A and B are shown apart, each in its own frame.
Chain A
Amino acid sequence: MKMLINVPETVVADALRGMAAAHPELAVDVENRVIVRKDAPVAGKVGLVSGGGSGHEPLHGGFVGPGMLSAACPGEVFTSPVPDQMVRAAAAVDSGAGVLFIVKNYTGDVLNFDMAAELAEDEGIQVAKVLVNDDVAVTDSLYTAGRRGTGATLFVEKIAGAAAEAGQPLERVEAIARQVNENARTFGVALSACTTPSKGTPTFDLPGGELELGIGIHGEPGRERRPMMTSGEIADAAVDAILDDLTPRNPVLVLVNGMGATPLLELYGFNAEVQRVLGERGVPVARVLVGNYVTSLDMAGASVTLCQVDEELLRLWDAPVRTPGLRWGM
């Protein structure tokens, strides 16, 4: 597999150096692997810190900026960052109003953020945590690691970020983040596996003519493999899997998210099918976002996330945001 890299060992550091050069409004600490809003800490404002393995860009570093995250901690490719990074990020963004950790539900992320929260509290920083677990492809039970955090992470970071920017206190920002997660569900499909730089070959073998349903964002195979389906058939399967689990009474935000290697042409076509299914099922749509936001390296495929919103959440979604990956209103 050909990749536009120097050596696998430095891909994360190289990307951070490039990010620093492209975004002077961010403070990028390449050595300690922390990306922080340059104006942090903002007086009186709750700090929002997220992080996770690299390979999902623009998540999370690309969502740092006014109206969204205060700081992000990138780990190695598909590997949770370490507690030292999160403690450093928390210390950099805490204005005294406390810090919210936004954690995708993976064993590694949960363990490292838990350790970091303890260490940060030892340093006198008030920390709250919100777990994102929106992936309906995983059976949520006591006997699994639980549902994965995927596309809803973008909604949580944007909406909680707007609440924090508006000066809401930590308990309120945490409650809003939790409300977004509880009202969001995702289903993803892969048309190809992805290739991690360190391994150099695809993480699983997906023969031509087949697709994986119910994938995550780490190149792990899904729960089911089927003969290739059309965009319309995939939209039916994805939306119905979500609606089996969520019955929206309010309008929904829709994220049609590319996994990394699927062209926007296909994503927009897929979105047309997603909108058709939502119409057929009688689900009112408030806003639609189409693009590559929560990716899985060079995987081809897409995920659909629906997030039911009330008036307050919709207002926070519409609030101005200025980050490398998401920008409107400012």
Chain B
Amino acid sequence: MLDADFFRRWMTATAASVEREAERLTALDSPIGDADHGTNLQRGFRAVRAALEKEPPATPGAVLTQAGRLLISTVGGASGPLYGTLLRRTGKALGDAAEVDERQLAEALRAGVDAVMQLGGAAPGDKTMIDALVPAVDALGDSFTAGRDAAEEGAVATTPLLARKGRASYLGERSIGHQDPGATSSALLIAALVAASADTEAGGE
């Protein structure tokens, strides 16, 4: 079972990988965006980590809704509302339970991804974060590792796509041949689930 501490570790692990990969995310955002994806997520997840260190919420759902709210208040751009909505809606779907299982998390995440699709209007294949998140949610039923692999494959598979949403869409054909930064950061979020559960198996931090 996954408790609030697991969700805290998930967010902390995401913050750590955003720190580690910020330059790469910004570099991916240069040819088809405006070169700030890494910086913006860094600002948001630093705020999430700081709040969790101060006073972590008591339930899995509350950890995610708080993180989502903070991302909306600190990130800006499209990423703030989209990532914020993803975590808030996932958190809301988890309800007040003190512990949830992997299947419940996968279902809640699906509700979060649906909310992101509704808000941003993107569908699979539009070269957005959705292209990593949808396959990840489908695979999470098997295991976190399968989810991570599916997200990473989904992110890589955005390279040949023509962008239809977001700033990359202004480039038309010239968006082809570049991996989508949002799909790449979404894969980091999913991969952090594996890191967070590895911490449990190793007996915590």
Which residues of A pack against B, CB within 8 Å? Answer: 53, 75-84, 106-108, 111-112, 115, 137-139, 143-145, 148, 196, 198-199, 203-204, 216, 218-221, 223
Contact = CB atoms under 8 A, between A and B. Distances in A.
Given A112-B81, A145-B167, A219 B35 contact: yes
B76 A218 contact: no
Given A80-B76, A203-B30, A204-B30, A107 B167 contact: yes
Nearest to B74: A82
Contact of B170 (A83, A203, A216): A216
A79 B76 contact: yes
Interface of B: 26, 30-36, 39-40, 43, 72-82, 119-120, 164-167, 169-172, 174
A137 B169 CA distance: 12
B165 A107 contact: yes
A82 B76 contact: yes
Contacts of B43: 76
Contact of B76 (A81, A216, A220, A221): A81
A155 to B, nearest CB: 21
A218 B32 CA distance: 11
A55 to B, nearest CB: 9
Contact of A220 (B81, B119, B120, B170): B170
Contact of A76 (B33, B72, B76): B76
Give the interface centre of B31, B33, B81, B165 by most chain A CB atoms within 10 Å: B81
Contacts of A204: 30-31
A108 B76 contact: yes
B35 A221 contact: no
Given A53-B77, A106-B167, A204-B30, 14 more contacts: A75-B76, A76-B36, A76-B40, A80-B76, A82-B76, A107-B165, A107-B166, A108-B78, A112-B81, A139-B172, A204-B31, A216-B170, A220-B33, A220-B171
**Which 8 residue pairs across A and B have the least CB separation, nearest first?**
A108-B77, A108-B78, A111-B81, A107-B78, A144-B169, A218-B34, A79-B77, A79-B76
B76 A145 contact: no
A143 B82 CA distance: 19
Chain A, interface SS category:
loop
B35 A196 contact: yes
Chain B, interface SS category:
helix
A199 B81 CA distance: 23
Contacts of A107: 78, 120, 165-167
Given A111-B119, A145-B167, A77 B36 contact: yes
Nearest to B171: A221
B166 A145 contact: yes
Contacts of A82: 72-76, 80
Given A78-B36, A204-B31, A219-B35, A108 B80 contact: yes
Nearest to B167: A220
Nearest to A144: B169
Contacts of B30: 199, 203-204
Nearest to B84: A115
Contact of A203 (B34, B39, B72, B82): B34
Contacts of B36: 76-79, 196, 198-199
Give the interface centre of A79, A203, A219 by most chain B CB atoms within 10 Å: A79
5 contacts: A79-B36, A144-B164, A216-B170, A220-B32, A223-B170
A77 B164 CA distance: 24
Nearest to A78: B34
A274 B50 CA distance: 53
A81 B80 CA distance: 10
A127 B165 CA distance: 26
A204 B33 CA distance: 10
B29 to A, nearest CB: 9
A223 B81 CA distance: 27
Give the interface centre of A81, A83, A139 by most chain B CB atoms within 10 Å: A83
Contacts of B81: 83, 108, 111-112, 115
A268 to B, nearest CB: 29
A330 B183 CA distance: 51
